[in-house]
Amino acid sequence: MKSLPMLRIPIVRYYCLHLHTHAPHDTVPYPDLYASFAQTAYSQMILSDVASDQKTMQKQARNTALDEFQVIENYTAKLDDHSTINITIYEAYDLPKDLLIADLSEELLETLEIIYLFYKGAIFPGIHKLEMLLDMGVIAMLPFREILSRVLPDMLKINILAEYQLMNFDKHDDDFIDFNLIWFLGKLNLQTVDKFLSDNDWHHDTPDFNNRDEESPPFGDAYDPAESESNDADASAGAFDLNEEDRLLKTELENELKHFYQDQSHFYTRVVGLRHTEFDISTLSEGARLTLVPEPENTHDPMAVSVHSARGEKIGYLKKELAALLFSELRQGVVFHATVVKVLPDAEEANLRLHILVRKWTHHFN
């Protein structure tokens, strides 16, 4: 990853963060992510450096002249049993005594937690946290957009957009595109999105920081799955009625996103319908193997695909939109393996609790 140019404006604080993300699978783009944010006296936030290894970050830090700053705080926030965010706050010496400096450490911790959720495959909780920060008007949103567009591989960005655009809403949302999310993800090697960002004047005022090195790593009874969607999130502030041109864009975008699920060897998604079964998902650990089972005899949806534990216990279902894309392949002998990547606490809404990684292992030869 390339660092931003040296800063030539007065800085009162630096926030140096280290996100360590552990997962029992090999799809986390950067297990260790280092980022440095600079704060001006007017609480403007700037992403000064980002790197995926400590040596590079230390080298960049030496160029920042941190000897002119003192450490005022250092602490570690625990995300799970093996994942943490460490933050060190540096403040300039000899600042005016009457200068009030806003503490933005909590906002930065929140933004890196979103990256952590995306890295762990918990896409919807990550998007919901992002929406909350947007609604709050968080100061760090612009530099966070810069780091987000640089540290998420294109395939993970497309997975995020696909989960939100295709797997989110009930059948009444024919006129929906989340433009805020598209803007945050930036260009991602998806023809319709890149054309949309290039054709809209509001995007031209936003710098493109999507600039990673080429070596960066990619990264119970019959049940109606539609019922599991009734308490999904409403359309966000980025959604509004579409004109005819954008309706065409939406159709083209969704066709591309459907191909993503069919063409990729692996992707993240969530399990729905948990409240319709008696399975206790708190007994599942990260890395646990699951199986996907087509249910052609399901009276509510003959293309339903259920999710089962390694012992054959039914846990829930894939979203019906995803099941419709995978059903024919499952019936033709394509083998999909699913792995638990994140289980969220009981307090979370049921359909946001269990997140899985789906891998396509065997292709049929018909």
List strands edge to edge, sheet with 45-51: 45-51, 32-39, 13-20, 84-92, 69-78
In a domain, 294, yes or no: yes
- C-alpha closest to that of 215 among 51, 85, 58: 51
Is 7 part of any domain?
Answer: no
SS3 312: coil
Q: What is the number of domains present in the chain?
A: 2
Residue 238 lies in a domain: yes
What is the structure's pLDDT at 330?
86
pLDDT in tens, the chain (366 residues): 333 444 456 889 999 999 999 987 778 889 999 999 999 888 788 888 888 887 776 766 666 667 789 999 999 999 998 999 999 999 999 888 888 888 889 989 988 999 999 999 999 899 888 888 777 766 556 688 888 888 999 899 999 989 988 876 544 445 566 677 777 787 777 777 777 777 664 443 433 333 333 333 322 344 455 455 544 444 444 445 667 777 787 788 888 888 899 888 899 999 999 988 889 998 999 999 999 999 999 999 999 999 999 999 999 999 999 999 998 888 888 889 899 999 998 766 888 899 999 998 765 444
164 and 141 in a common domain? no
- Residue 4 covered by a domain: no
CB atoms within 10 A of CB 288: 17
Answer yes or no: do 87 and 190 share one domain.
no
Answer yes or no: is 45 within a domain: yes
- Phi and psi torsions of 84, nearest 5°: -145, 160
Last residue in a domain, options 107, 128, 147: 147
Chosen domain end from 147, 176, 204: 147
**In terms of domains, do 179 and 237 share one?**
yes
- pLDDT number for residue 203: 41
**Strands of 266-270's sheet in order across:** 266-270, 354-362, 335-343, 289-295, 304-309, 314-317
Instruction: Give the span between the Cα atoms of 217 and 351, in whole angstroms.
Output: 30
Residue of 220, 215, 186 whose CA lies nearest to 200: 186
Same domain, 92 and 212: no
Q: Angle at CA 130, nearest 5°, toward 234 and 219?
A: 110
Decide if 285 is inside a domain.
yes
Classify strands 289-295 and 314-317 as parallel, antiparallel or unpaired: unpaired
Residue 197: which residues within 8 A CB-CB, separation 6 or more? 182, 183, 186, 187, 203
Domain range for 136 is 13-147
Burial class from Cβ neighbours inside 10 Å (0-12, 13-18, 19+) for residue 9 reads exposed
178: nearest Cα among 118, 117, 127: 127
Find the CATH number of the domain harbouring 200. Answer: 3.30.70.2330
From 117, 147, 177, give the residue that closes a domain: 147
Residue 213 is predicted with a pLDDT of 39
Instruction: Judge if 78 and 106 occupy the same domain.
Output: yes
Q: Are residues 213 and 259 in the same domain?
A: yes
Asked if residue 209 and residue 237 are part of one domain, the reply reads: yes
Q: Are 117 and 164 found together in one domain?
A: no
Whole-model pTM: value is 0.82
Burial 116-142 (b: 16+ CB within 10 A, else e): bbbbbbbbbbbbbbbbebbeeebbbbe
Residue 308 sits in the same domain as residue 286: yes
1 domain residue, yes or no: no
Is the same domain home to 137 and 244? no
> Within a 10 A sphere around the Cβ of 192, how many other Cβ atoms?
18
How wide is the angle at C-alpha 208 spanned by C-alphas 204 and 211, nearest 5°?
160
Do residues 63 and 168 share a domain?
no
Is 191 found in the same domain as 273?
Answer: yes
